[in-house]
Amino acid sequence: MKKRYLISPGPTPVPEEVLLEMAKPMIHHRTSQFSAIFAECAEGLKKIFCTDQPVLMLASSGSGAMESAVTNVFRKGDKALVVNGGKFGERWGKICEAFGLEVVWINVEWGQAVSVDAVAEALKNNPDIAGVFVQGSETSTTVAHPIQQISELTKNTDTLLVVDGITAVGVYPMPMDEWGIDIMITGSQKALMLPPGLAFISLSEKAWKRSESCDIPHFYFDLKKERKNLAADTSAYTPAASLIIGLRVVLKMMLDEGLENVYKRHDTLARATRAGVEALGLKLLAPESPANSATGLFVPETVDGGKLVKDLRENYGVTFAGGQDHLKGKIIRIAHLGYFDSFDMVVAMASIEMGLLKFGHDVQMGAGVAAVEKIVNERY
């Protein structure tokens, strides 16, 4: 027998009580029974997003919500300022270009956060920017971008701030209304502790007003239609019913824990993981602006990171994520968002120590684990 540990930044583990709820007999999605669940989820999501605006539920991956943010709000030829500091910043730009927007790129070194001054300079040089597109947490590089500071540049202007919060919402505070975020999205398989298949998006009043002049065709991802149906406690098209049934349990778990406690837990696990990495003498991918969703670390130059990740998954039963593009085979990404607690990080660090030793790297066994234990013990 081999017990499996899923420690990747998406999909993330699903709590047992959520799985059991989703395993109950299916109910029809056009009934008062399901509408009550749908309405409860809608109210809970507003608390997670910290907004008075409706949070729409789409049957798609997070990329579907990213596409809908472009196709429902902007016009062909609009200028989009895109922060490209990883695979998902790059995706923002590709989506904008696919639908006829003119992209102004801010290219950021992978592992670094965007400079607020660079965003300010780009806005100054391009006063007709219609929207700033950025990740709250760039999953591919485990970087947190300075969303609150960027929001100060856009909140009292006509420019919209569009934030991919797929690995940020539910991880650390990012209050949509207070900060002036105009469009924010997330996905089900990250901090919301569900299987993949649901995306969530909310628009500010400023963004809804801008949507009135949108000229990009859309059909399935029609946010006005979804908003109208949400007001009637239903969805425009067939919802991912099982996931929404599970979502009700997830939202209750998070709100019962308390959002401040949720944020503190993520912060503790992130600090512990980074301390463990440094105790092993390994280099962090994002030492200056690390995200609390996942920690990236460079494997030793003598070790093939791709083979290490595969071996840890197949022989040790521990699944991490590797690197993408030019970081492929060079890094490991350890998740600590969603359904993770202290001892998951102990398992993560112990498996990395064991794997590195197996691959011939001189490791002080237990050093990383001890560093993790010292910090997570703060919670008890």
Going by their DSSP bridges, the two strands 183-187 and 160-164 should be labelled as parallel
Q: Where does the pLDDT of residue 379 fall: very low under 50, low under 70, confident under 90, or very high at 90 and above? A: confident
Is the same domain home to 267 and 212? no
The pLDDT score that the predictor gives to residue 99 is 98
Plot region of 329 (φ>0 → left; ψ -120 to 50 → alpha; else → beta): left
Residue 2 has pLDDT above 90, yes or no: no
Degrees to nearest 5, angle at CA 235 with 230 and 241: 120
Going by their DSSP bridges, the two strands 199-203 and 55-58 should be labelled as antiparallel
Q: Where does the pLDDT of residue 1 fall: very low under 50, low under 70, confident under 90, or very high at 90 and above? A: confident
The pLDDT score that the predictor gives to residue 153 is 98
The residue from 256, 282, 306 where one domain ends is: 256
Is the same domain home to 193 and 318? no
pLDDT > 70: percent of the chain: 100
The pTM of the full predicted model, rounded to 2 decimals, is 0.97
pLDDT tens for each residue of 95-113: 999 999 999 999 999 999 9
pLDDT tens for each residue of 187-198: 999 999 999 999
Is the same domain home to 236 and 266? no
Dihedral sign for Cα atoms in the order 100, 106, 107, 111: negative
Peptide bond into 11 cis (omega under 30): yes
Is the same domain home to 171 and 79? yes
The pLDDT score that the predictor gives to residue 107 is 98
pLDDT tens for each residue of 357-372: 999 999 999 999 999 9
pLDDT tens for each residue of 235-277: 999 999 999 999 999 999 999 999 999 999 999 999 999 999 9
Dihedral sign for Cα atoms in the order 359, 362, 365, 370: negative
Is the same domain home to 173 and 288? no
**Side-chain half-sphere exposure of 287, counting CA atoms within 13 A:** 7
Is the same domain home to 221 and 313? no
Compute the radius of gyration of the chain from its Cα atoms. 21
Domain assignment present for 178: yes
Residue 380 has pLDDT above 90, yes or no: no
Q: Could you list the residue range(s) of the whole structural domain that residue 180 is in?
A: 16-256
Is the same domain home to 334 and 355? yes
Is the same domain home to 29 and 56? yes
**Side-chain half-sphere exposure of 52, counting CA atoms within 13 A:** 5
- Mean pLDDT throughout 59-69? 98
Tell me which amino acid residue 22 is.
M
Is the same domain home to 250 and 190? yes
Residue 218 has pLDDT above 90, yes or no: yes
The answer to whether 76 and 216 have CB atoms below 8 angstroms apart is yes
Q: Where does the pLDDT of residue 378 fall: very low under 50, low under 70, confident under 90, or very high at 90 and above? A: confident
Q: What is the spatial distance between Cα 177 and Cα 183, in angstroms, rounded to a whole number?
A: 10
CA nearest to 158, candidates 228, 217, 74: 74
Domain assignment present for 55: yes
Query: Which CATH number covers residue 210?
Result: 3.40.640.10
What's the length of the chain?
A: 380
Q: What is the spatial distance between Cα 292 and Cα 366, in angstroms, rounded to a whole number?
A: 23
Q: What is the spatial distance between Cα 251 and Cα 205, in angstroms, rounded to a whole number?
A: 25
Kindly report the average pLDDT of the chain as a whole number.
97
Three-state secondary structure readout of the chain = CCCCEECCCCCCCCCHHHHHHHCCCCCCCCCHHHHHHHHHHHHHHHHHHCCCCCEEEECCCHHHHHHHHHHCCCCCCCEEEEEECCHHHHHHHHHHHHCCCEEEEEECCCCCCCCHHHHHHHHHHCCCEEEEEEECEECCCCEECCHHHHHHHHCCCCCEEEEECCCCCCCCCCCHHHHCCCEEEEECCCCCCCCCCCEEEEECHHHHHHHCCCCCCCCCCCHHHHHHHHCCCCCCCCCCHHHHHHHHHHHHHHHHHCHHHHHHHHHHHHHHHHHHHHHCCCEECCCCCECCCEEEEECCCCCCHHHHHHHHHHHCCEECECCCHHHCCCEEEEECCCCCCHHHHHHHHHHHHHHHHHCCCCCCCCHHHHHHHHHHHHHC
Residue 294 has pLDDT above 90, yes or no: yes
Is the same domain home to 32 and 128? yes
CA nearest to 123, candidates 182, 77, 83: 83
pLDDT tens for each residue of 156-183: 999 999 999 999 999 999 999 999 999 9
First to last CA, the chain: 31
pLDDT > 90: percent of the chain: 99
Domain assignment present for 22: yes
The domain tally of the chain equals: 2
